Amino acid sequence: MKTNKFFTILLVMMALAFAINGQSEASKTISNENDAQSLQVGRLEGTFMVTATFTNIEFCEGGKCEPIPVGELPPPFKVLFTFMAGKTANDGTLIDTNEFQMTGNPVCTPDQGIWERKLANQFILTQYNFCFDSMNGYGPAGTSKIRASLQLNNRGDGITGRQYIEGFDAKGMLVFIGEVNLAGPRIIAEEPPE
C-alpha cells in the first residue's frame, strides 16, 4: 500500500514536471513568434529604382590591389532591385540589373542572390553574377560576388545602403574591388494615361 502511494506521488510529480516543462517550451515558442513578428516591421519585397555611386574602385593583380583616383570613378548609375519572398518573412531572393549590364567588356549577367533581415528595417544581401569576354567570342571571363547592407526607411518606400563588390577572373583570382553607396525609391504601380 505504501509502495502504491509512493509511485502515485512520483507519477504526479513527474506529470507536473512535464506540464511545467511543456508550458516553458510553449512560452519559448510564443516568445520566438513574438520576436519574429516584431522583426516584420517593414516589407522589403518589391522593386526599387536605386542610384548607385562608386566610392572606391581597386584593380588587383598578384594579390595587391591599387585604388584608382577618386576623380576617375565612374558617374552614378541606375540599378533595378527586385526582392522576392522566401521561406519566412525575414528572408528571400533577389535579382538586380543595372544600366551598364550589357555595355563594355566584360559583359555580365544580372545579379542574383538572397536577402536576410537583421533588424526591423535592416537587411543584408549576397549576390553573384557571371561575366563574359565580349572581345573573345563571349567566353567566360569570371564572376562577381556582391555583399550589401540595406536600410528600409520607416515609410517602406525607399532604401539606402552600401555594396562591397569583388570581381574574379576565370581562374578565380581577385581582379577588382568596388564599394558603392545605394539610395532609391520603391517603384509603385501606376495606371496608364487615358
Q: Which CATH class is domain 46-185?
A: mainly beta
| Cα–Cα distance, 152 to 94 (Å, whole number) | 15
Give the lowest-confidence range in 69-73, 113-117, 124-128.
Answer: 69-73
In this model, does residue 35 exceed pLDDT 70?
Answer: no
pTM: 0.76
Report whether 150 contacts 118 (CB < 8 A): no
Q: Which amino acid is at 12?
A: V
Report whether 98 contacts 50 (CB < 8 A): no
Q: What is the pLDDT of residues 169-178, one digit of tens each?
A: 999 999 999 9
Give the lowest-confidence range in 25-39, 51-65, 69-83, 178-192.
Answer: 25-39
User: Phi/psi at 115 (nearest 5 deg)?
Assistant: -125, 155
How high is the pLDDT of residue 104?
74
Q: What is the pLDDT of residues 174-193, one digit of tens each?
A: 999 999 999 999 999 999 99
How high is the pLDDT of residue 41?
67
| DSSP assignments along 66-119, one per residue | EEPPGGGSPPPEEEEEEEEE-SSTTEEEEEEEETTTTSSSSEEPPEEEEEEEEE
Q: Round to the nearest angstrom and report the end-to-end CA distance of the chain.
A: 92
Tell me the C-alpha to C-alpha distance, in Å, between residue 185 and each of 12, 42, 107, 114. Answer: 62, 14, 27, 20
Rg (CA), the chain: 26
In this model, does residue 1 exceed pLDDT 80?
Answer: no
Helix (H, G, I), strand (E, B) or coil at 55: strand
Mean pLDDT score, 118-128: 96
Q: What is the DSSP letter of 187?
A: P
| Cα–Cα distance, 12 to 102 (Å, whole number) | 73
- Give the torsion through C-alpha atoms of 175, 111, 41, 182, to 10 deg: 50
| Greatest C-alpha distance within the chain | 95
How high is the pLDDT of residue 76?
96
Mean pLDDT over the full length of the chain:
83
How high is the pLDDT of residue 153?
95
